[in-house]
Structure 1
């Protein structure tokens, strides 16, 4: 059954005149536009229609909006992942640089301390780095990156920013081996700053302890005394800190005190050391075979200097005067004094 028939359609839109319908619709639109422009009669109607059509617009725009949102989120996620990875790499590099800067800062501080100690002592010094360490119980030795090519010599003293470290024992040309003051085979001549008492500090094999076994029971030493090099022996320049006395004990029946001291240098943390060269002696001793200067000529009774060779001329004058005592009496010997001028005559004759 047909839902509609040509007779049931509106008369306005039926018939063979579509142009008329267009004209009517255009006229109606113009009238509505004029009324809306002048009195805003259709503004409320447009608002209602927009509110009614908004869900439809959102439903139509939802697929494209969802597509844009997904693409933006995926792009932003990938970009964030890349940025995060880049930032992690930069952070790792910066942390590595920061660690290196911390090491350089610590090295700079050590160098400044070494240079400051060099300026304080005033002796000629050479900075050396430690290549290897041998801290066996009975062997405390280090290898330095300086040797005889750099002016290092056997017996040269080593110090750091705090005090005496050791002494060079072997030269290898471009490197050298040094013995620390805590080695059991090492000894340092020291003196107490407080009273000038001299002794010898021996290594014990412990990096934190030195021994002073040659102090008598009546020696003036107490805990806290600073020990410095005495300069005896010429190996260590005088005045460098060596250790601080920690314990003084006098056992009954023993003639010597038991004295232990803590080294001033940080022997377990040293990285660089100073090779100190003692200054040359200001006054040199004269050689043993140097000839002595001749003594000044003695003066005669008349105030005139005696002749240079009086013994050589005296025998020549004595024979000439020997016959005189035979013909003359003994008192005549007094005029023999004027014979002295004959000595220069004899020299002239020679």
Structure 2
């Protein structure tokens, strides 16, 4: 029995007709741009479907990002909380040591060291001269800065002011070949002179006899001699000690505690006997910072 589906052109004729219509439509679309408006309407019609299909991926990505940000914030908060607790504990010990120190000074009839005015400065420029280690900061004469003033960062002594302008100053780093700073060892109070050798990560201790008790790891702090750097600020840590009997002195190298290669914010100190004081001592005091010792 014949059906209606068996009637009509043969399959080959149908294929030829379909190919011919396809070629005609391709030619009309490519050369005559006949379906441009229709394509726009079709894209507008399909666009909501595309958004719906992409929605799960967008929601998953946003959720993952928020979860990651939340975890990062919680981790950072926990780290800062732990750091705050440790710093508070250290501050408590410092306060106790300060009180004991004041009591001992009273017993020895030695005047207590007065608190110094402090001001935060910011790095402006670095000298590109390979034979000098100097920087420029954004504080000058109008802020009370003076020549030979001590400059620190959050870890230790950085250098001293060598030139003062109206609004900026030039600072010589302790690593400069022409700079030297009197220091003493915290372990045994032996005094040395630490000189720069042009390298940001190394100081040399001058004229150290072979018999002197100096060891690798000794912490060196400013001795207060020379009336430039106040006493007690960290300067460097002994890196190596070489005792060659063929040489008159031992070769002692130390690593500066201040991060001389990545300075950003610095601290200026004003002892009471400074040639000048900042205009507003109260405002300067707001910039106080404590030098950190590893």
Q: What TM-score results when the alignment is normalised by the length of structure 2?
A: 0.57
- Residue 228 of structure 1 deviates from its aligned partner by 0.4
The whole-number CA distance in structure 1 between the counterparts of 2:44 and 2:210 is 93
Which structure 2 residues correspond to residues 247-286 of structure 1 after superposition, within 5 A? 247-280=240-273
**SS of match in other structure, 2:127:** strand
Please tell me whether Structure 1 or Structure 2 has the larger radius of gyration of its CA atoms. 1
CA distance 1:230–1:73, shift in 2 (3 Å): same
- Residue 79 of structure 1 deviates from its aligned partner by 10
- Whether the 8 Å CA contact 1:157–1:275 is kept in 2: the answer is yes
The whole-number CA distance in structure 2 between the counterparts of 1:70 and 1:193 is 78
Q: Flag as ranges the 4+ runs of structure 1 deviating above 4 A.
A: 68-71, 75-81, 119-122
- Residue 153 of structure 1 deviates from its aligned partner by 0.4
Give the structure 2 partner of residue 31 of structure 1.
Answer: none
- Residue 279 of structure 1 deviates from its aligned partner by 3.1
- Residue 197 of structure 1 deviates from its aligned partner by 0.8
The whole-number CA distance in structure 2 between the counterparts of 1:71 and 1:160 is 62
Instruction: Find the partner of 1:74 among 47, 52, 57.
Output: 47
The whole-number CA distance in structure 2 between the counterparts of 1:79 and 1:220 is 77
- Residue 217 of structure 1 deviates from its aligned partner by 1.4
The whole-number CA distance in structure 2 between the counterparts of 1:70 and 1:241 is 70
Alignment pair present for 1:154 and 2:147? yes
- Whether the 8 Å CA contact 1:236–1:278 is kept in 2: the answer is no
Give the structure 2 partner of residue 236 of structure 1.
Answer: 229
The whole-number CA distance in structure 2 between the counterparts of 1:199 and 1:74 is 78
Q: What TM-score results when the alignment is normalised by the length of structure 1?
A: 0.48
CA distance 1:72–1:270, shift in 2 (3 Å): same
Alignment pair present for 1:163 and 2:156? yes
Aligned residues: 188
- Whether the 8 Å CA contact 1:181–1:203 is kept in 2: the answer is yes
Compare the two structures and name the one with the higher helix fraction: 1
Give the structure 2 partner of residue 298 of structure 1.
Answer: none
The whole-number CA distance in structure 2 between the counterparts of 1:262 and 1:201 is 10
- Whether the 8 Å CA contact 1:137–1:206 is kept in 2: the answer is no
**SS of match in other structure, 1:139:** coil
The CA deviation string for residues 83-131 of structure 1, in whole angstroms up to 9 with x for no partner, is x9xx9xxx9xxxxxxxxxx9xxxxxx9xxx9xx9xx9994211100000
Instruction: Find the partner of 1:174 among 167, 176, 181.
Output: 167
- Residue 253 of structure 1 deviates from its aligned partner by 2.6
CA distance 1:233–1:70, shift in 2 (3 Å): closer
The CA deviation string for residues 14-67 of structure 1, in whole angstroms up to 9 with x for no partner, is xxxxxxxxxxxxxxxxxxxxxxxxxxxxxxxxxxxxxxxxxxxxxxxxxxxxxx
The whole-number CA distance in structure 2 between the counterparts of 1:259 and 1:199 is 10
Give the structure 1 partner of residue 19 of structure 2.
Answer: none
- Residue 220 of structure 1 deviates from its aligned partner by 1.0
Alignment pair present for 1:137 and 2:130? yes
Alignment pair present for 1:203 and 2:196? yes
Mark the runs of 5 or more structure 2 residues left unpaired by the alignment.
1-40, 66-75, 77-82, 99-113, 275-294
CA RMSD of aligned residues (A): 3.5
- Whether the 8 Å CA contact 1:168–1:179 is kept in 2: the answer is yes
Task: Select the structure with the greater relative contact order (CA < 8 A; seq sep ≥ 6).
Answer: 2
CA distance 1:70–1:133, shift in 2 (3 Å): closer
- Residue 70 of structure 1 deviates from its aligned partner by 6.6
Which structure 2 residues correspond to residues 22-41 of structure 1 after superposition, within 5 A? none
The whole-number CA distance in structure 2 between the counterparts of 1:71 and 1:237 is 76
**SS of match in other structure, 2:133:** strand
